[in-house]
Structure formats: C-alpha cells, structure tokens
Amino acid sequence: MTTTLRLNLRFAAGAAVLAFLLSLSGAVSLWGQVTQVGGTGSPIFYNGSDVGIGTGTSNPAAPLNVVGTGSSNNVAFFDNYGTPSLLGLRRSDGTVSSQSAISSGDILGNLNFQGYDGSIFGSAAAIKAIATQNFTTGGHGTALTFSNVENNGTAVTEIMRIDGVSGYVGIGTTSPQHLLHVAGIIGAEEVIVSSTGADYVFKPDYHLSQLSEVAAYIKENHHLPDIPSEAEVKDKGLSLGEMQAKLLAKVEELTLHMIQAQKENQELRERIAKLESASAEPGGVGAQPLSTPERPEEKR
C-alpha cells in the first residue's frame, strides 16, 4: 500500500509557495516544488537516496543532480562570510561504517568536464587528485593531474601533472625529473638563464693552455677541454647555464690568444722595420734571418 501526503505552504502574497508531495511505499519518495504565486516552479526531488534540483524527473542521475535553466551561466554558488568558502571532495577506502586509509594510486577526487555531442554527455577534460603514497597521519602525498581531449578525438589524455613525490611539474610526462620537465619542444620569445659567468679567465693566476696543448687534447679526445663530449650530452643532457659559462670561457681564452698573437705580430713588424732601415744605410749590414720569438707559457 502506498500512502501519499501533500503539504502546501503559502507565504505572504506575491511570495513563494512551497509544496511537498510525500509518498510512502516501503521507501520514501519526496517531491518538492518552490514557485512564485502565478509563476513556474523549480522542482526538488528526493527518491530516498538521490536529490534532484531542476531535473524535471524523480530519478536524479547522481546523489546530487542540479540542472540550470539555461537562462544564466550560474548554476550554483557556495557563499560564506568572514571565512573562505570550502568545497571539499573527500574519500576513504572501506565503507561508511568501516573506513580505512587511502592507498597509493587511489583517486581522491575527479573534477570532470563533459559536453553533449548529440548522443551522450562525453568527457572533455578533467582535473584529478591521485594519492602517491599510502596515507598515514604523517603523510598525504598527492599528485594533481590535468587532462583534456584533443580535436577530433574522444580520449581524455593527461597533459600536465604536479607530482606528489617530488613536487616537480611535468608537461607531456607522468614522471617529471626536474622542477619543470617538458617532454617536447618549448617555444619562447626570451629565456633568462642564471649563470656565474667566466671572468675567472682574465684573472692573473689563470692558466691559459697553449694552442699546441689544445690541439693535442682535441686529437686525443675529439672535443674541446672542459666541454662535454657528444656521448655525455646524449646521456645526461645539457645544462644551459653551465654550458653558456663554459662557451664564454672558450671565447675569452680565444680573445687572450688573439691579443698575444697581435703582440707577437707587432714585435715582428718592428724587428723587420729595424732590419730594413739598417740594411738601407751606407755600410749597413745585410738582412739577417728572422727568428720567431719564443712564446713563454701564458699565465693570466
């Protein structure tokens, strides 16, 4: 047997009318509608387990199913005064009466964005919180992931993650190895890299290798001194800041070599001019063979 109770509450003229229809048939089914006098209603349904607001049906699609009117972008507000509003997504393992701790890999919450494609509401994007450790009173490690669907596709694919183990941010990778790890090409209008520079090359106690030493090193190792080899770069990658400093050091070393070469060249020119002047004088000696001045070990 089904028992139906109807309750109508009317407030001041022009105000709201609140109506409830309660049906009892083993389970509770509560239907409510709030209307303006002479106006349309906004039905509220409760079928014993689920609540629907504005759904137009007594069978809501979820424990709380809210449907907007389409006349406004606003579907729900959560207001608070004096303190921040909190929208909490909570999970435990186990059951309501016997809860257990979260395990690594559990999805704590999933904010899922869906759109109607003419047939179904299909997933379009998602933000997930995923446990990265077994939860204890001293550890709640969690990763936050961001996913979307590319054009002409239906698969929701993770594109970015804030890792719960390291705190690193990964784009195009699920296991970032650096503070920001991008698995792909980065386009930028400007990049600023902090570096120590290479002014130490110009200090008086810096040992500037002779070019003959550099040539011998290249012949044996097939790369410049203090510069990583091709194999090292392939294996470990390249630090922009460190490499920028090393390349700058090589430019400064080359500058010192050029300064020394210019000095030697000027000395040779002066010696030639003196010899030519002496040979042109009456009774002057003939030109003598020129010897290249010995180049001392260069120290800066």
Give, for 214, the enclosing helix (H) or strand (E).
helix 211-221
**Tens digit of each residue's pLDDT, the chain (300 residues):** 555 555 555 554 444 545 555 555 555 555 555 554 555 555 677 777 788 877 766 677 788 888 776 666 677 788 888 888 888 889 999 998 999 999 999 999 999 999 999 999 999 999 999 999 999 999 999 999 999 999 999 999 999 999 999 999 999 999 999 999 999 999 999 988 887 889 999 999 999 999 999 999 999 999 999 999 999 999 988 888 889 899 999 999 999 999 999 999 999 999 999 888 888 776 655 545 555 555 555 545
Q: Which residues of 174-200 are buried (b: 16+ CB within 10 A; e: fewer)?
A: eebeeeebeeeeeeeeeeeeeeeebee
Element (H, E) at 254: helix 240-280
**106 contacts 120 by C-beta, under 8 angstroms:** no
* pTM (global) more than 0.85: no
Measured distance CA(109)–CA(224) in Å, rounded: 53
The 10 Å Cβ neighbour count of residue 121 is: 11
Going from N- to C-terminal start, the domains of the chain cover 1-68, 102-184, 199-280
Per the DSSP assignment, residues forming a β-bridge with 44 are 32, 53
- How far apart CA 144 and CA 290 sit, in angstroms, is 76
Opening angle at CA 190, ends 185 and 192, nearest 5: 100
